[in-house]
Amino acid sequence: MQPVQQSLDFLAELAAGGPVRLLAEAFAAAGHELALVGGPVRDAFLGRAITDLDFTTDATPDEILAIVTPISQAQWDVGRAFGTIAARIDGETVEITTYRSDSYDHTTRKPAVEFGDTLEGDLLRRDFTVNAMALRVPELKLVDPSGGMDDLIAGVLRTPGTPEVSFGDDPLRMLRAIRFTAQLGFTVAVDAAVAISEMRESISIISVERINDELSKLLKTDAPRRGVELLVESGLAELIIPEIPALQLESDEHHHHKDVYQHSLTVLEQAIDLERSRDTSPSPDLVLRLAALLHDIGKPATKRNEPGGQVSFHHHDVVGAKLARKRLRALRFDNDTIAAVSRLIELHLRFFGYTDGAWTDSAVRRYVRDAGDQLERLHILTRADVTTRNRRKADQLAFAYDDLEDRIATLAAQEEIDSVRPDLDGEQIMRILGIAPGREVGQARAFLLELRLDEGPLPPEEATERLLAWWAARS
């Protein structure tokens, strides 16, 4: 956290120009209050970049719209039912919300919205004290009715009122608390942590879409591990994504295996480090992080105690991919994300056969073909999956994967491996074999593709000769 006076100076500078000044002047001229609120104020004191400009006011949504329209380039009222109007002002998007108080009736999935009449009342209904501070503009007065500054200095997440009332008003706040531990590096106050555990069942009234949003935000933080751990410790994970706590496999005195749960968290951390260092994937990469966290969720269902004290998890990659598809569908992730994550989980063990013996060029081509557009993520996930403390073994695996990537690059340069296709297209196949469109054309293409993967590109004459030989043998 940076010095308070420095933060106040920064907020004053922010309020002196751009959209903040224009809004402050417009609302004052209309006889209404306006305050910068929540995240922007908190982040200013933490020295974090301010990415959103959120305001609150005593004006109604209709009055807000009337005030901002003359000074904005665009307006959106999709949040009108919740008292929020968004606008594009001086090149930045802002949101202005009427003082309000929302709560759930403990049976429905949507909050009931009631508008308030004071800034202090609006702040006291917010989720945590560090988010319940506001800067009145244009007068630049800091309003902190619940001691948010003290909690900000202490790095503590505390609710403005009792946590039972706060989480009862909106159970999603339990997930927000967990996300903020990862995002801000804060700890949850003891009474709030106890309330989360005791009230976790109430998360069932929250829509899946809102839960998805919070879970995604958690995984996209710089260091999500502690948040995931709190998700499990509180019991919320059992209700939202039970495959994660299920990774805490039991072992007996005769059969030993590494801690799959802790291993998965380490893989997540290592994948994030590689994601940043390789700088070839979008960051934060939600698909990669989901795959890293879920890559071993097939192990509980496939665990077998073998003779000699060994433990096996045969086919946990295939089982895990199916479980991931099912869970991510239930959490309403989009189809592209589901397909990518499940594919990565299905393929995450493929490389480990590379160290058992030299792969042929054909095997390398198949690895690339099967990975498709997930190849770079598969590179990262496979490297991150090495968590052994045996330095020699870790180095051997790293050197082997370096070799595999070098071979992929070489083959790509030679053969444009990223777009491997049969050496003859459908029209050529039909002309050579004298057949009409149909299943046989597809079978011929499949044969030529396998030939291409096995032997690399062939001259048209040789490809034709091999196709005719295949056709004759087939007939």
- 469 lies in a domain? yes
Residue in 237, 210, 227 with CA at minimum distance from that of residue 269: 227
Residue 332 in 3-state DSSP?
coil
Kind of pairing, strands 187-188 and 156-157? parallel
pLDDT for position 391: 86
Least confident of 139-143, 351-355, 420-424: 351-355
- 245 lies in a domain? no
Same domain, yes or no: 295 and 378: yes
Same domain, yes or no: 235 and 284: no
Number of independent structural domains in the chain? 4
Same domain, yes or no: 17 and 106: yes
For residue 473, the surrounding DSSP H or E stretch is helix 460-474
Same domain, yes or no: 207 and 345: no
Residue 197 in 3-state DSSP?
helix
CA distance 283 to 279: 8
Mean pLDDT of 236-245: 97
pLDDT for position 302: 87
Mean pLDDT computed over every residue of the chain: 88
Same domain, yes or no: 117 and 260: no
Burial class (CB in 10 A: 0-12, 13-18, 19+), 161: middle
Residue in 288, 268, 263 with CA at minimum distance from that of residue 225: 268
Same domain, yes or no: 147 and 185: no
CATH number of the CATH domain containing 314: 1.10.3210
Same domain, yes or no: 387 and 456: no
The yes-or-no verdict on residue 397 having pLDDT over 90 is no
- 26 lies in a domain? yes
User: Residue 196 contacts by C-beta under 8 Å, 6 or more apart in sequence?
Assistant: 163, 167, 174, 177, 178, 188, 234, 236
Same domain, yes or no: 53 and 170: no
CA distance 448 to 431: 15
The yes-or-no verdict on residue 254 having pLDDT over 60 is no
pLDDT for position 388: 84
Which of 136, 154, 172 terminates a domain? The answer is 154
Which of 88, 119, 154 terminates a domain? The answer is 154
Least confident of 144-153, 173-182, 222-231, 255-264: 255-264
Mean pLDDT of 94-116: 72
- 246 lies in a domain? no
CATH number of the CATH domain containing 230: 1.10.110.30
Residue 116 in 3-state DSSP?
coil
pLDDT for position 255: 44
Q: What percent of the chain has pLDDT above 70?
A: 90
Instruction: Select, from the ranges 51-55, 116-120, 164-168, 438-442, the one with the highest average predicted confidence (pLDDT).
Output: 164-168
Which of 154, 177, 194 terminates a domain? The answer is 154
Same domain, yes or no: 395 and 432: no
Mean pLDDT of 68-79: 90
Chain position carrying tokens 């004006």: 59
Same domain, yes or no: 333 and 432: no
- 290 lies in a domain? yes
For residue 157, the surrounding DSSP H or E stretch is strand 156-157
Same domain, yes or no: 305 and 430: no
Confidence of residue 49 (pLDDT cuts 50, 70, 90): confident
Same domain, yes or no: 134 and 4: yes
Q: How far is residue 459 CA from its own chain's centroid?
A: 46
Angstrom CA distances, 63 to 33, 66, 102, 456, stand at: 12, 5, 20, 69
Mean pLDDT of 456-463: 89
CATH number of the CATH domain containing 1: 3.30.460.10
User: Residue 334 contacts by C-beta under 8 Å, 6 or more apart in sequence?
Assistant: none
Tokens of 218: 């958690």
For residue 226, the surrounding DSSP H or E stretch is helix 225-234
For residue 267, the surrounding DSSP H or E stretch is helix 260-278
- 248 lies in a domain? no
User: Residue 166 contacts by C-beta under 8 Å, 6 or more apart in sequence?
Assistant: 127, 159, 160, 173
- 393 lies in a domain? yes
Q: Are 27 and 59 in contact (CB under 8 A)?
A: yes
Write out pLDDT tens, residues 308-364: 767 778 889 999 999 999 999 999 999 999 999 999 999 999 888 776 667 888 888
State which residues form the domain around 438: 426-474
- The better pLDDT of the pair 281, 296 is held by 296
